[in-house]
Amino acid sequence: MFILWRYILKEHIGPFFFGLAIITLVFLLNIIFRELGRILSRGLGISIISEFFLLNMAWIIALAIPMAVLIAALMAFGRLSGDGEITAMKAGGVSILDIMLPVFVAAVAMAVFLIWFNNHVLPDANYRTKLLASDIFRKRPTLNIEPGVVYNEIDDYNILVQSIEGKTDTSYVTNISIEDNSDPSTSTFIRARRGKIFLDQTSGMLYLILYDGYMHELNLDKMEQYSTIDFPRQTVSISVPDMVLTRTEEGYRGDREKSSQMMLAEVKANKTDIEERYHRAAGLVQNYFTKYLPQHQRGAAAAQTPAALSEPNRENNYQLERIRSDHIHLKNQLKSELSSLASLDKENWRLMVEVHKKYSIPFACIVFVLIGAPLGIMARRGSLAVAGGVAFIFFLLYWASLIGGEELADNQFISPFWAMWTANIICGACGIYLIFYSIHEATFIDWDRLNGFMKVVLYKKNSL
């Protein structure tokens, strides 16, 4: 039995990693086509770009592993069935369940690993990805000075050069002109025959070292104050901190950047807050009735109030205005409390959707084995085309169900449990049916008998 387990698992290793690589590549290409252009325009180093894609690998792995499990089951069992090895095993007294058992155990181990991964690795990776992406897109694009074109992407500065030659981190320019409007009361114009430009990545300062030039300075408040200075060498420093990537260490964690334990603790805190707000709203109503209709005066007040308030005098008008004002105040307070209760309740539903998702997606490894193994045996082909085609159909249905369920649960149409587990339940039931078919070579429904019955019914209907 150990030899059989080792042989079956060995058949799955190659297709699993092959499918994992293909699916990962598809996801990575999607990110590359969507984000790489914007990232490269920021002038980032290879280490930052590599870190960005490496952090995105976390969510890709969490989604790709269940898909790779299905592809591996379809390809491995399809090859074993196509080569007649499944038939030989059954002839040797090994049942379909015994053949599937090692893969099922491996799928359970994979699901346990993904549960740990989704709660300990994925939240931090998503959190760091969000912070890094925010830092990258907040960074100003790299200095892009073109000959003969005025560069005005730095606030209060206009730079024009005749020619530019870049060497490593320093650009050498000729006939450079700089218009400096950083001081509201002074207008400065600088002209130099040559110079060099470089950015200090540590301080975020742009340095322009100019040679053989002059500077004109005009005081805008006192127009008569105009000065001209010739210089052999001049250094101009401009603060451009947005051109240097500044890493953020802390920020707000969204629901996909939290573990299930963190979200369950937040749900518990929200429930406590809901209970407190509910009692607070009930207390407001109770205090209102206690104020205007005390228990020992309710019968008398109910009888006397209409007559007393019907008298048109200043005191009654004042009391009516005060009661109306208290009515409006109570209404606004209750509306605020009810809005907060609804918001907290909706937040709890959204958090519970993410909690169930961290367990339902790993459980798909088990469900996909239940589907992939009998489908591979019946297909009798272990090619990538067959496995990919069948897997694509199930992926489409499975992820459409998850996305639709998440949307419905976020809007509180269905519970978070059914939103995240319906796809597993349906696919699992289909898998059990397929296994039953593979074992007994029969179906739950006798389609031939049903077809004959329908023919008899239609024949009788036509004869009438």
Q: Specify which residues 207 forms β-bridges with.
A: 198, 237
Q: What are phi and psi for residue 5, nearest 5 degrees?
A: -60, -45
Q: Could you count the other beta carbons within 10 Å of the beta carbon of residue 192?
A: 24
pLDDT at 109: 96
pLDDT at 294: 62
Q: Which residues contact 200 (CB under 8 A, 6 or more apart)?
A: 206, 207
The answer to whether the predicted template modeling score (pTM) of the entire model surpasses 0.85 is no
Q: Average pLDDT of each block of 10 consecutive residues along the chain (464 residues)?
A: 88 92 92 81 79 93 92 88 86 87 94 95 93 80 78 85 78 90 87 87 81 88 82 86 72 87 93 89 83 58 48 63 80 86 90 94 93 83 65 80 87 90 90 84 49 64 58
Domain ranges of the chain: 2-137+357-451, 157-243, 259-354
- The tokens describing 146, both together, are 């073109």
Please state whether 380 falls in left (phi above 0), alpha (psi between -120 and 50) or beta.
left
Q: What whole-number distance in Å separates Cα of residue 143 and Cα of residue 173?
A: 13
Of the candidates 355, 338, 347, 341, which has an alpha carbon nearest to the alpha carbon of residue 410?
347
pLDDT at 198: 83
Burial of 462 (0-12, 13-18, 19+ CB in 10 A): exposed
pLDDT at 382: 58
